[in-house]
A and B are shown apart, each in its own frame.
Chain A
Amino acid sequence: MHAVVDSLAMIGVSYVMGFLFYGFYRQFNARVQRRWGPTIWQNLFDNMKFFFKSETLIHGPMFFFGPMIIMAGAFTTVLFVPFLKDSDWLQGFSQYGNLILIIYLLVVGPLGNALAVGSSGNPFGVMGVTRGLTRLMGLEVPFFLGLAMVMLQHETASVHAIMAAQDSLAHWGIVTNPIAFCVILLPFIGSQHGAPFDVVGAPVEVYAGPRVEFGGRLLGVLMTQRMMMSIAKLVLLVDLFLGGATNILVLIAKAFSLFLLTTVISMVFPRLKTEQAVDFFWKVPLGLGVLGVILTVWLPSWSA
């Protein structure tokens, strides 16, 4: 019973947080561009509207199941990320998982969705999927390298243990392992579909992207899972680098500050093409990561 309630709570928290954060994002973005922008609730309204559409066009059974898989994937991901430390609540099933599992769960859903896109028969959708996978290939390398540095630092892949080790501000990951944080930050923005790495789903000269064929309730599902996934990733980073959170308010505060940081970075850069993005990931963050490995792993072992 506890597990069921806890799970529902986690899903609820991530849903609400996601829509509010992205509502804030839209407004913040508008203000920077000297517009008024929509209200902070606008995303939530849009989502509700999609969910109550009466007509939904599908292209075969796989087209329908794809969004279901991605949604289930989002739920699973959320449930395997511990939201709080030293608490019985908002833990989901995270004690049965670990960091590497979460990273892989993050891509289960998108691949399920890729099946739906493929079965729609729209080549532009598939092109978007390919771009998405290409970007994933680019960002995952430095991202994972940064995570590996964290795992090595704590000698565990368990998020709980990593959180527990950061008992004070001086032991926060961002303080003890700043290189890893720097390595992860830009790929993280990429994984959040944030600018400047957002060419996959962004409007271009012909609309291309994984969602090109979706409409109605299915689009609502896709929107929801994206918000929840974003929150899962944010919380994960909070757990790893910002010492986790002991209660929900701290969690929101820490996650929001991290979100603000990424948003600010996103706003000042122009959008990159997919190949440019990949090349960038492999040059700057990965180069930094290699440097970090040499500094934190190789040099100590040589001097020892």
Chain B
Amino acid sequence: MTLPLTPVWFVALPLLLAFASPLWVRLRLLMPLLVGTPAVLLLLALALLPEVRIAPLVETIVIAPPLGIHLQLDSASWILVALISFTGLLATAFIWLGDGESYLRDRRAFIFLLLLIAGCNGMVLTGDLFNLYVFLEISGVSAYALSALRRDAPALEAGLKYLLIGSVAAVFFLFAVVLVYLQIGQLNLAAIAEGFAGIPGPMQILIGLLMLVGLGIKAELFPFNFWVPDIYQGSHPVVAGLYSGFLVKAFLFVLFHLVFLLLADPGVAGAWLMGLGAATMLVAEVVALRQDDMRRMLAYSSLGQIGLIALALGFGAEATTAGGLFHMANHTLIKLVLFLTAAVLMRSFVSARLADLAGAGRARPLAAAFFVLGALAVMGLPPLNGFASKLWILKGFAEAGVFWPVALVLLAALIEAGYYFRWIKVLYEPRADLPEARAVERWGYAPIAVAAGLIVLLGVAPFLVDDLFIEGAQALLDRGAALSAVLGAGS
């Protein structure tokens, strides 16, 4: 029997494996499968890449669109899918190889991690609005559960808080879905896009705002992102790395995908999102200055980068969009390095607080070196990947002759340097009484090293991949092509 290589596996495989988990426990295959699933998905994505670059793959489930449900893998969503699989691979490899906390290695963690991957893949791929809601809830529920996995008071608190705010977001989004259906009578995104202009103006605004609040909360945009630091701080750093690595990216992608697909003229909405992005970036970077918990600091830093990406995507020019997508990928790699390093440091020194980590760089030189690398990359210093994508974004703004985002981005980077370099300085603090470091599994460094290697590689040779992102940007921005791919050339 041969299984056709289709995008549906991105959702189906993790779902199936997750629900069959009791079997894997018995067969002692839990860890290999946890790492193997994203690995297989990554291979699948790579295998599909040549086809995707020619034309978007539309996978129909049962009935053809616009009536049925379909998954659509184009150049833009491919980037996200590959990113999700790759991030999942590195994070799970860290859990396995790093011999980490037992609660990350049991069956529940296995289920929720795979569900999270399935949910995010589904969100990115689906061409159906209600399916989007379903996948949004799947990834949401698994994320709430992952946050609470440790089952001590902070973890449960994080899970509860996440659940409360996440449910509200879901309600808002559901409300928007309901209104859309009532107005258009369609759920297929392409069909909605065709009919959206026919909705009365005030209703468009209401739907838009409902979606903005719903997805804005999930995509961590200011002023809907006040929950983020608490949740990142309460969750295990690896889980937080997944949130920052692909969960929020998936939501952000969905948000902009909807904007560019539904609106014939995304200018106004784009300007709103640019404003929100700029506010997110600046506020988060400023607040990060006073953080003394590494996870919380990284959370704010992550917010800042999300704001930058929103700023870039909202502008809607090809160069900024390509740069924004590239920055998404780069930020994922960087935050993975930083959060996994934070996990190593936390395991070594039990605490993630600034005061307790003073001098840690001399006890854990490798971890500290990775932290420095990640910090340099996140600030956009060459020759690391953060620089390449930031340059691309800024170049896009400069080409268009718009300079206020350039000024804000550079200001934010300067503020960011203010706290990252404080952490670096403290990590290398000369201290007579070095903190006692608990042993960590050396293999745990392997996934970090892979990500770090990519950070350097993409920084030195971004021309290896820049075509992918240009095609992704074109796919994201070209509304007509997206519609005709689903509905046929005549529409």
Q: Report if A and B touch in the complex (beta carbons < 8 A).
A: no
Query: Which residues does A use to contact B, with CB under 8 Å?
Result: none
Query: Which residues does B use to contact A, with CB under 8 Å?
Result: none
